[in-house]
Amino acid sequence: MSEARNPKSVRIAVAQTPVREDPRDVDALRESGRQVRALMREASDRGARIVHFPEGAICFPHKLVMSVDGPDAVGPADWDRCQWPVLRSELAAITELARELRLWTVIASVHRLTEPNRPHNSLYVISDRGEVVTRYDERLLSKTKVSYMYSPGVSPVTFDVDGVRFGCLLGMEVHYPELFAEYEELDVDCVLFSTSGTSGNTTAQAQGHAAVNSYWVSLSVPTQHSAKAPSGIIAPNGDWLERCPADDSPSVAVVNLDDSSEAAAESVTYGRPWRREARAGVYTEHQVTDPRSEDRTAAF
């Protein structure tokens, strides 16, 4: 996308779904899976090639539900409480539907590790062939997550759909601009950010990251937060392109990520290439040796 002479375009859907917090509740896990698949079908019907879901789309285990010291105190998570067979079966059904619809699907889930290691908090990237082609594990976790619940990830993840490169972030990572800058260096065209909450002015930060890095940002949040921060797509100029309804309804917003569009062309054609040139040292040859430059107390 950084090269305007080689335009790129892909149609993306960003979802908002209810997030349930008890991984022991089989019926709730099943209902989450059904809602995800319903939105996958809607995204496909509206021409999307890729659909992006929030953190905890199947379940976001609550720290007090999982705590061995709960329900009134936070302590180490007991992951034996999770209905792993049900979770796996719902993810398998989502993977099969992705293959059937030929729809790339980015879905959040807990990723189990070998005991006694804690799981990762993850985003699975499922291809339009129904294959898990990569997985992003949240790296910069909250204090509670890293102390009691999850093992942190170690690396960024990118993948391409129809020539458009995506990167993934998760949880509270919107608060770390260096992660977004890292994806700019990896030449991504769009960052998919999934979260279960919107504290700390998440939407404004997401817009800032899009504008500073001149790429698209897809923000996917639970329906519980849609009244103040519905899911949506931010253009490389920092403007919202499309957002889900602010009415707590499960829904998708669908747009074309087109780098020749009015919302992207200037940022992609001029802003991003110039910032790269500036960081590469373009100013060095223009620097001068001058006593009036070196003397910082010189006036007028």
pLDDT in tens, 237-279: 999 999 999 999 999 999 999 988 888 888 888 888 888 888 8
Nearest partner of 57 among 113, 122, 101, judged by Cα: 122
Between CA 17 and CA 32 the distance in angstroms is: 8
pLDDT of residue 57: 95
Sign of CA dihedral 229, 233, 234, 240: negative
C-alpha 206, offset from chain centre: 10
Between CA 28 and CA 154 the distance in angstroms is: 31
What does pLDDT average to over the chain? 94
Confidence category of residue 4, pLDDT binned at 50, 70, 90:
very low
pLDDT of residue 135: 98
pLDDT of residue 299: 85
- Kindly state the tokens that stand for 282: 């373009």
Residues 132-159 have a mean pLDDT of: 97
**93 pLDDT higher than 90:** yes
Residues 96-117 have a mean pLDDT of: 97
- Are the C-beta atoms of residues 253 and 242 closer than 8 Å to each other? yes
> Could you report the per-residue pLDDT of 22-57, keeping only the tens digit for each?
999 999 999 999 999 999 999 999 999 999 999 999
Compute the residue count for the chain.
Answer: 300
pLDDT of residue 6: 60
- Kindly state the tokens that stand for 174: 């919107």
Confidence category of residue 83, pLDDT binned at 50, 70, 90:
very high
Between CA 194 and CA 54 the distance in angstroms is: 5
Residues 62-89 have a mean pLDDT of: 95
**2 pLDDT higher than 60:** no
Residue reference for tokens 């107390």: 297
- Residue of 7 and 121 predicted with greater confidence: 121
pLDDT of residue 3: 43
Q: What is the edge-to-edge ordering of all strands in the sheet holding 9-16?
A: 132-137, 120-126, 104-111, 50-52, 9-16, 251-258
Between CA 298 and CA 287 the distance in angstroms is: 18
**158 pLDDT higher than 80:** yes
List the alpha helices (DSSP H) in the chain. 26-45, 63-66, 84-101, 143-144, 177-185, 202-213, 265-266, 272-279, 291-294
pLDDT of residue 268: 87
